[in-house]
């Protein structure tokens, strides 16, 4: 950070709330960083000479005569190849015991990519998980969250996806991670021998919640460095965005802003969009793909956080505990990848979209049969076959512990079709069933 010999020091606070302090100061710039008794803070409001600062680590113990020094610039991250393999806190300081990173200092939360300079995403990201690759194929440059209840193994799925994806860098932004989950990620990355392509920005539950607000911008500034400057394929993992949004509401509440739905700030949509829209496919080949986690409250997707997220992201992946197979599956009904048609049948086998639609439709038939059963009606022969199919489909394809190639997924689906149904019952285009049907 630039040094300034004439930097003025203030020692009198006019107001203190749990997340903010206010003082009289002149010549302060918007978004600028300051220290309040050594704690980092950022300018969030200027009203005449009254300046309000958001103190990232909270204001516990801050006295009204605290020392405030303005640092003259917004939060920055030093970027360079040395970021690889390192673990940082929300301010970009190492937490792995290694040295500070040397490199160019960049302001975080920078400007948007000119939409006209984007390219249409077209590269498939295989994950080995059929619930994703077969039904909701991911494409580089996409942004997509997992919608999951807190008890589901979303962090494990995300680590699996990251380690199997064919990308140059994996950047993890952990917000409110439990220490156990942080160690899990660290361990998985080490185990996989992938540390050289991993960069982590971590805020655990032990750290103050407002610090989380810096994490996505830190992660994405690093991502932009590798994608734009180095033309690399970057995968950014953000977990858990619900905790990020909660931190937003804390700050807006302390600033006396009028809350909108679910006591979230009125700007929630823009705040989330600013992060997710960093996902991009660049013409030079570099790309940023964002996979996030939004935890739900008892599956409620009408809450402001998942609702706004759904309008921003290119689909969503629902995790669901399936009672038939006893596995956690990717719900084929409510999950969606909006970009899947850009790669299906183009980068994958010609039968992909037909197999996907047919297998999901037959799974839906099984759900109807199940309802019939629950309501005490008699089941027909085809109902029984549907139910048997559904169980095997969930176990062998929808379950998150699957790890096979897309061709294997398609072949498995054909095998199931032949095992439980006739060609006519599947209603697949004749030319395809002639070619792929497993007699």
Partner 1 sequence: MKTTGTVTGIVSNLVTVKVDGPVAENEICFIDLAGVKMMAEVIKVGGSNAQVQVFESTRGLREGDTVEFEGRMLEATLGPGLLSSVYDGLQNDLTVMEDVFLKRGEYTDPLDRKKLWDFTPIAKPGDTVEAADWLGEVKEGWLPHKIMVPFSFKGGYTVKWIKEAGSYNVDTVIAVLTDSQGNDVDVTMTQKWPVKVAIKGYREKPRPNRIMETGVRVFDTLNPIAEGGTGFIPGPFGCGKTVLQHAIAKQGDADVIVMAACGERANEVVEIFTEFPQLIDPHTGRHLMERTTIICNTSNMPVAAREASVYTAMTICEYYRAMGLKCLLLADSTSRWAQALREMSNRMEELPGADAFPVDLSAIISNFYSRAGMVILNNGKTGAVTFIGTVSPAGGNLKEPVTESTKKAARCFYALEQNRADQKRYPAVNPIDSYSKYLEYPEIQQFLDNTIEKGWVDKVLTAKNIIRRGKEASEQINILGDDGVPMSYHVTFWKSELVDFIILQQDGFDPVDSLCPLERQKYMLDLVLDTCSLDFDFPDYEKCRDFFKNLINVLRQMNYSEFHSEQFNAYRQDVQKLLEEYGN
Among 24, 100, 311, 431, binds partner 1 (CB under 8 A): 311
The piece of 102-110, 197-205, 384-392, 414-422 that touches partner 1 (CB under 8 A) is 102-110
181 versus 314: smaller Cβ distance to partner 1: 314
Report whether 358 contacts 417 (CB < 8 A).
Answer: yes
Label residues 270-285 b or e (16+ Cβ within 10 Å = b).
ebbbbbbbbbbbbeee
Report whether 49 contacts 24 (CB < 8 A).
Answer: yes
Q: How far apart are CA 438 and CA 410, in angstroms?
A: 11
Among 37, 58, 74, 95, binds partner 1 (CB under 8 A): 74
398 versus 402: smaller Cβ distance to partner 1: 398
Q: Which of residues 265-284 bind partner 1 (CB under 8 A)?
A: 266-267, 269-270, 273-274, 276-278, 280, 282
Among 5, 26, 93, 374, binds partner 1 (CB under 8 A): 26
Question: How big is the site for partner 1, counted in residues (CB under 8 A)?
Answer: 66
Q: Which of residues 344-403 bind partner 1 (CB under 8 A)?
A: 377
Tell which residue, 292, 57, 108, has the closest CA to residue 218.
108
Among 48, 97, 99, 193, binds partner 1 (CB under 8 A): 48
Binding string, residues 229-258; x marks residues near partner 1 by CB under 8 A: ----------------------------xx
> Helix, strand, or coil here: 31?
coil
- Give least dist CB 375 to partner 1, A: 8
- Give least dist CB 307 to partner 1, A: 5
Q: How far apart are CA 209 and CA 215, in angstroms?
A: 11
Q: How far apart are CA 134 and CA 128, in angstroms?
A: 9
Q: What is the DSSP letter of 299?
A: T
Among 117, 187, 419, 438, binds partner 1 (CB under 8 A): 117
Which residue is associated with the tokens 């409110």? 176
92 versus 141: smaller Cβ distance to partner 1: 141
261 part of the interface to partner 1, by CB under 8 A: yes
Q: In whole angstroms, how far apart are CA 304 and each of 57, 121, 146, 245, 307?
A: 26, 28, 16, 10, 5
Among 61, 99, 111, 193, binds partner 1 (CB under 8 A): 111
Q: Who's near 272: CB < 8 A, 6+ residues apart?
A: 241, 245, 308, 309, 312
HSE (side-chain half, CA atoms, 13 Å) at 94: 13
Q: How far apart are CA 164 and CA 129, in angstroms?
A: 10
Which residue is associated with the tokens 């704690």? 39
Which residue is associated with the tokens 């160690």? 183
6 part of the interface to partner 1, by CB under 8 A: no
Among 85, 103, 153, 315, binds partner 1 (CB under 8 A): 315
Q: How far apart are CA 321 and CA 336, in angstroms?
A: 18
What φ, ψ does residue 90 adopt, rounded to 5°?
-65, -20
193 versus 376: smaller Cβ distance to partner 1: 376
105 part of the interface to partner 1, by CB under 8 A: no
Q: Which of residues 285-304 bind partner 1 (CB under 8 A)?
A: 301-304
121 versus 174: smaller Cβ distance to partner 1: 121
- Give least dist CB 31 to partner 1, A: 4
60 versus 256: smaller Cβ distance to partner 1: 256
Contacts to partner 1 by CB under 8 A? 26-32, 44-49, 73-74, 107, 109-121, 141-142, 228, 257-261, 266-267, 269-270, 273-274, 276-278, 280, 282, 301-304, 307-308, 310-312, 314-316, 333-334, 336, 339, 341, 377
């Amino acid at each position: 950070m630039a040094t300034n010999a004439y930097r003025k020091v203030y020692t009198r606070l006019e107001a203190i709330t749990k997340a903010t302090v206010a003082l009289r100061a002149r010549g302060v710039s918007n978004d600028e960083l300051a220290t309040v008794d050594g704690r980092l803070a950022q300018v969030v409001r200027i009203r005449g000479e009254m300046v309000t600062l958001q103190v990232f680590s909270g204001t516990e113990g801050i006295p009204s005569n605290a020392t405030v020094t303005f640092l003259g610039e917004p939060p920055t991250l030093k970027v360079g190849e040395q970021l690889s393999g390192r673990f940082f806190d929300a301010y970009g300081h190492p937490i792995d015991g290694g040295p500070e990173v040397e490199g160019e200092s960049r302001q975080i939360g920078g400007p948007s990519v000119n939409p006209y300079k984007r390219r249409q995403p077209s590269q498939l990201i295989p994950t080995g998980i059929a619930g994703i690759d077969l039904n909701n194929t991911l494409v580089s440059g996409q942004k997509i969250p997992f919608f999951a209840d807190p008890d589901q193994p979303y962090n494990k799925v995300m680590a699996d996806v990251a380690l199997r994806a064919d990308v140059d860098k994996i950047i993890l932004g952990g917000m409110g991670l439990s220490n156990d989950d942080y160690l899990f990620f660290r361990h998985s990355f080490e185990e996989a021998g992938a540390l050289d392509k991993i960069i982590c920005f971590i805020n655990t539950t032990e750290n103050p919640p407002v610090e989380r607000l810096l994490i996505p911008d830190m992660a994405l500034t690093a991502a932009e460095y590798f994608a734009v400057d180095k033309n690399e394929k970057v995968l950014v993992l953000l977990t858990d965005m619900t905790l990020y949004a909660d931190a937003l509401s804390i700050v807006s509440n302390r600033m006396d802003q009028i809350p909108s739905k679910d006591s979230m700030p009125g700007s929630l949509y823009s705040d989330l969009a600013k992060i997710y829209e960093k996902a991009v496919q660049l013409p030079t080949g570099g790309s940023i793909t964002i996979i996030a986690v939004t935890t739900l409250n008892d599956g409620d997707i009408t809450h402001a956080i998942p609702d706004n997220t759904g309008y921003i992201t290119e689909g969503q992946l629902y995790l669901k505990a399936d009672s038939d197979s006893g596995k956690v599956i990717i719900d084929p009904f409510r999950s969606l990848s909006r970009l899947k048609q850009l790669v299906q049948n183009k980068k994958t086998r010609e039968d992909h979209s037909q197999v996907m639609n047919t297998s999901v439709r037959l799974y839906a038939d099984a759900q109807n049969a199940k309802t019939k059963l629950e309501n005490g009606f008699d089941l027909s022969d085809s109902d029984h076959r549907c139910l048997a199919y559904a169980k095997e489909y969930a176990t062998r394809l929808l379950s998150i512990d699957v790890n096979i190639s897309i061709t294997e997924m398609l072949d498995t689906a054909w095998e199931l079709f032949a095992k439980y149904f006739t060609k006519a019952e599947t209603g697949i285009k004749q030319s395809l069933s002639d070619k792929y049907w497993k007699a």
